[in-house]
Structure 1
Amino acid sequence: MAHDALTQQAEGAGTVWRSWPVALRILVVYVVARLATTAIMLAVAANSPVDSRFGADPDLADYVLGWDAQWYWTVAFSGYPSELPLDEAGTATENAWAFMPVYAHLANILGFGTWGVGALIVSLLGGYVACLALHALLRRRIGEGAATWAVVLFANAPLAALFQVGYAEALFLAFLMCALLALSARRWWWLYLLIPLMGYTRPGVLAFALLLGLYGIFRWFRRRDDPLPAREVIHIVVLGALAVAVGFSWQLFAALATGVPDAYLETELAWRRGWIPGIEAFVPFEGWIRAAPFWFSLWGLPEWLGIVALVVLVLGAAAALFSAPARRLGPEVRLWSASYILYLLAVFFPQSSTFRLLVPLSPLWGAAPRSRVGRGLALVLCLAGQWWWIATMYGSGNTYWQVP
């Protein structure tokens, strides 16, 4: 009798929950997730050691304005240097050209001059919009329940603190999820707006250009089953060209402003040279190839083992995209994931920020386990990952690898 009563109550609660508008359901999930993250932040701050980056007893505002948030604040109030800063050896040093303007200035506008407040608002709103768009993107492929659970895991992911600190990731995710949704629905005109917004929020729009190229090839080979009219071909080609133009335009802007042709690439290499000195120029894919033996030697392991690990990692990522759970997500998500992984391999030097750089692969949360046990375990691991990341990067952050 008691079991039957509990079952009826659960069914009744489920009926009420499903009767709510999608936006409200996602909002409830998102707010609960943000409360959980806030609780973790407060607990970490209360136990912050004296030698941590933020000192003993930091408050939430310290975390919101920590790390790269300072660079975005600099962009909002000081703009970009007209003279590329150099060290004594004549090599570019870290500077604001590595950070795009949309997030920085939008935070300033919404904060009415109080940049930290605006940054928090933009990140919170960006995260919510990203959750809504992710749900809409996945619901068409994996159903309402699985899409909602993907949002639960996304909102509580190990790096979910990015939804409430002064980083551009949440805003970029909002634009990205909306762009993938527009692509899957073939709402081409939205992409003409979203691609520049993505491109000037944070690096990564060149991966979207590759996605459009692969998507065009995919549609071409499937044109008998899924007709590809000329107008769609035109949109795909023009949008791909737009994404390429936006992706490379920032290098042009930096060059024109500073008079240094490779100012942007030199700025990005300033961070890489902090790990491996002596890098003379940017070479695609070199970052991972040099990082693999570097990290393994640092850990006291043979350098060749690092190369083996890199090969296994790449092959494993490729195999994962061909798995049944990933195939259910649709071609747009899989092609984006492949494009973005290739982009990271081409341009990035893997270090502690690698975790943050992987966040744009969040549509893959749709491939999470579907059983109750699997979902519950995934959520527990997400929250544990949050605790570890916040405690390591914010609660401590006092050594070379503790950089978010």
Structure 2
Amino acid sequence: MSRLDDAGVVVGAGTASARRRAIDLATSLPAWAAVLLVWAGGRVLSTFWLLIAFPLAARAMPENGVWGDGHGFGAFLVAWDGQYYEQISLHGYPDTLPLDAAGNVAQNAWAFLPAFPFAIRLLTISTGLPFEVGAPIVATVAGLVATALLYRLVRDRTGHAAAMWAVFFFACGPLSFLLQVGYAESTFLALTFGALLALERRRYGLVTVLGVVAAFTRPGALAIPLVLGVVALVRWIRARRADGRVLETFPLREQVRVVAAGLTMVAAGLAWPVIASHVTGTPDAYLETEMSWWVNFIGRVEFVPMTPWFLIAVRWLGVGGVLIVVFLLVAYPVWLLRRSTLRLGSTTVLYSAAYALYIFAVSLPMASTPRLLMPLAPLFGSPELVAKPWMRRTFVTAALAGQPVLVAVLWLLGPP
């Protein structure tokens, strides 16, 4: 016998029964077990695609993909940016900035923040493990923590089902292989999701600790104190309405804690350029280092906030590219303000706006942009994205089919 599934497609009774058994099993698991199962399945899937890509590395990967003569699978997992993290972990940062033939600052380790490589150093020193083993271990464990925190962050607002969809897209999606390679992404994601969850619970001390560590893990942590500031401002206004009604209490002691937390995180977020300049003796050492990656895309230009996306749009697509950027600037806020997205809560929506603003203001769109957008993963918990069967099938197919494509395009031909 056959019947119609939820999308009106005829399916066999055996297929429907198997699907129902799988759904029943998934829904009967405790939340922690379901999250762990999805995360583990994602790591198996990512490892499979990386193992498939590994034999092609010797031919496809440019010479600067892996340092040295060793091209084992471990070295493959710490390629590209991993080479700089290895240098930092083993030798620290250079006292003098390298220069190219024209006397401009060349690509160097100062573009990469210290928390991730120093964490690996603690592991390798205490265990004797080599960097190429320690880095994936730290990244993978941090990826598990990030996945669990993402579930909690989304579940508290939109429920278990939406949170599990967010976990699936995050742990099994096209970029999920980055959760287990020698990149700082998973560590930054764990710190960010943890800070947002702590902010929702008004645990300002924990927010401060996580926000400060995030500021020394990857750029973009300034979005956290920005969200804290907006939330605090709204609470302050609600506590002092002109008509005299108090909609929400905001005690002075709590205000002081919020201000202290915000200022501490802002100071941490602005500290690295100061440290780089002090150690190297070169003004704007960090900015010049970051912009050395821009040269191959738009040449050497002066940095002006809010212009990078327009610069590359004009360089590669002309007027049409500018129109695309303008469309994104309009469409993204509109989508954030949709009722379904707002169900994720003000903290998540404000962070998604603040972090996207940071990416637009200071980063140049390139191969690394997709991974820079990974902190926006809580948006996958919007119920609207999986409201209908055809939407779920589309997103699942895109997630599973997209990973081998991005492993090939980014990790083999990269850098991502």
**Higher mean displacement: 74-83 or 43-52:** 43-52
1:324 alignment partner in structure 2: 339
- Cα distance change, pair 88–129 in 1 and its aligned pair in 2 (3 A): same
Among candidates 268, 273, 289, match of residue 251 of structure 1: 273
CA distance in 2, matches of 1:177, 1:313: 25
CA distance in 2, matches of 1:387, 1:10: 25
CA deviation after TM superposition for structure 1 residue 11, in Å = 7.0
1:352 alignment partner in structure 2: 367
Q: Are residue 29 (structure 1) and residue 38 (structure 2) matched?
A: yes
1:218 alignment partner in structure 2: 234
What's the TM-score once normalised by structure 2's chain length?
0.87
1:42 alignment partner in structure 2: 51
Structure 2 counterpart of 1:237, one-letter code: V
What secondary structure is seen at the aligned counterpart in 2 of 1:274? helix
Unaligned runs of 5+ in 1: 297-302
What secondary structure is seen at the aligned counterpart in 1 of 2:250? coil
Structure 2 counterpart of 1:262, one-letter code: D
- Cα distance change, pair 31–345 in 1 and its aligned pair in 2 (3 A): same
What secondary structure is seen at the aligned counterpart in 1 of 2:80? coil
CA distance in 1, matches of 2:365, 2:300: 17
What secondary structure is seen at the aligned counterpart in 1 of 2:352? helix
Q: Are residue 118 (structure 1) and residue 134 (structure 2) matched?
A: yes
What secondary structure is seen at the aligned counterpart in 1 of 2:297? coil
What's the TM-score once normalised by structure 1's chain length?
0.89
Q: Are residue 170 (structure 1) and residue 186 (structure 2) matched?
A: yes
Q: Conserved in 2, the CA contact under 8 Å of 1:182 and 1:188?
A: yes
Cα deviation code 1:201-257 (max 9, x no counterpart): 111112222222222233334444443222332232222211210111111111111
CA distance in 2, matches of 1:391, 1:9: 33
Structure 1 counterpart of 2:167, one-letter code: V
Among candidates 86, 103, 106, match of residue 116 of structure 2: 103
Structure 2 counterpart of 1:306, one-letter code: G
CA distance in 2, matches of 1:6, 1:258: 64
How big is the alpha-carbon RMSD for the aligned residues of Structure 1 and Structure 2?
Answer: 2.4
Q: Conserved in 2, the CA contact under 8 Å of 1:63 and 1:394?
A: no
CA distance in 1, matches of 2:50, 2:166: 23
CA distance in 2, matches of 1:61, 1:164: 11
Among candidates 232, 235, 244, match of residue 254 of structure 2: 232
- Cα distance change, pair 84–59 in 1 and its aligned pair in 2 (3 A): closer
CA deviation after TM superposition for structure 1 residue 44, in Å = 3.0
Structure 2 counterpart of 1:177, one-letter code: F
2:97 alignment partner in structure 1: 84
Unaligned runs of 5+ in 2: 4-12, 240-245
What secondary structure is seen at the aligned counterpart in 1 of 2:320? helix
Q: Are residue 289 (structure 1) and residue 317 (structure 2) matched?
A: no
1:300 alignment partner in structure 2: none
Q: Conserved in 2, the CA contact under 8 Å of 1:156 and 1:379?
A: no
- Cα distance change, pair 337–277 in 1 and its aligned pair in 2 (3 A): same
Among candidates 391, 397, 402, match of residue 408 of structure 2: 391
CA distance in 2, matches of 1:275, 1:6: 50
1:299 alignment partner in structure 2: none
User: Sequence identity, in percent?
Assistant: 37
Structure 1 counterpart of 2:404, one-letter code: W
